[in-house]
Structure 1
Amino acid sequence: MTRQDISELYRGYIDCLNRQAWPELGRFVHQEAQYNGQRIGLSGYREMLENDFRAIPDLRFVIDLLIADPPHIAARLCFDCTPVGELFGLPVNGKRVSFTENVFYEIRDGRIAQVFSVIDKEAVRAQLGNDSP
């Protein structure tokens, strides 16, 4: 795949997430997907995303930075949302928070096969006024 190919694939994937078009997820995510070193497969990946949207009903993935170097792609994603209950173990309880995620992907067979994600949880902690680790 070319840089343009994987960039278009990724933008389609983000659109799929934002629309919560779960039946389409298999077009973008490999059947044997891994997330942060754990094999969770397509079904586990879908379950993880569905749980994210339950915890954060107004969740929207916004691409801030996208770098493609086939077969890899890296993105900085921005979030401005209102989680219900807890987020990353922090009691957000309906307060609006903003944070970012730096995420790296490996594309295999035209689909996302491996994901390494680092979320700025400290940004949420700071917005809640909770400085304890």
Structure 2
Amino acid sequence: MTKDEIAEAYRAYIACLNSQDWERLHEHVAGEVTYNGAAIGLSGYREMLVEDFQAIPNLSFNIGILVCDPPVIASRLIFDCTPKDMLFGLPVNGKRVRFEENVFYQFQQGKIASVWSIIDKAAVAAQL
């Protein structure tokens, strides 16, 4: 895939997440996807995302920075949301918080095969 193709595929993936179109997640994510080195598969990845949206009803993935070096794409995602109860083990309890995630994705055969994520949990703690 070219830089433009991966960037387009990634933006389509983010749109899928934001619309919570779980039936189409397989179009963007490989069946044997890994997350931070753990083989969780598509079903585990989907379950993680569904739980995120249950904990944060107004969750929205917003691309702040996007850098591409095929087959890898890196993104700084920006979140401005209101979690219901706990977030990252912190008692947010309905308070609006803003934080970022730095995440790398490796594409294989047009789909996300590996994800490495670091979330700025300290930013959330500082807002409580």
TM-score higher than 0.5: yes
Aligned equivalents of 2:69, 2:28: Cα separation in 1: 17
- Unmatched segments (≥5 aa) in structure 1: 129-133
Establish whether residue 44 from structure 1 lines up as the match of residue 44 from structure 2: yes
Instruction: Look up the match of 2:29.
Output: 29
Count of residues in correspondence between the two structures = 128
After superposition, where does 1:1-133 map in structure 2 within 5 Å? 1-128=1-128
Question: Over aligned residues, Cα RMSD in angstroms?
Answer: 0.3
> 1:39 corresponds to which letter in structure 2?
A
Cα deviations by residue, 1:70-102 (Å, 9 ceiling, x for unpaired): 000000000000001100000000000000000
> 1:45 corresponds to which letter in structure 2?
Y
TM-score by length of 1: 0.96
* 3-state secondary structure, aligned to 2:84: coil
Among all aligned residue pairs of Structure 1 and Structure 2, give the percentage whose two residues are the same amino acid. 62
- The ranges of structure 1 where at least 4 consecutive aligned residues each deviate by more than 6 angstroms after the TM superposition are none
Aligned equivalents of 2:8, 2:69: Cα separation in 1: 13
- Unmatched segments (≥5 aa) in structure 2: none
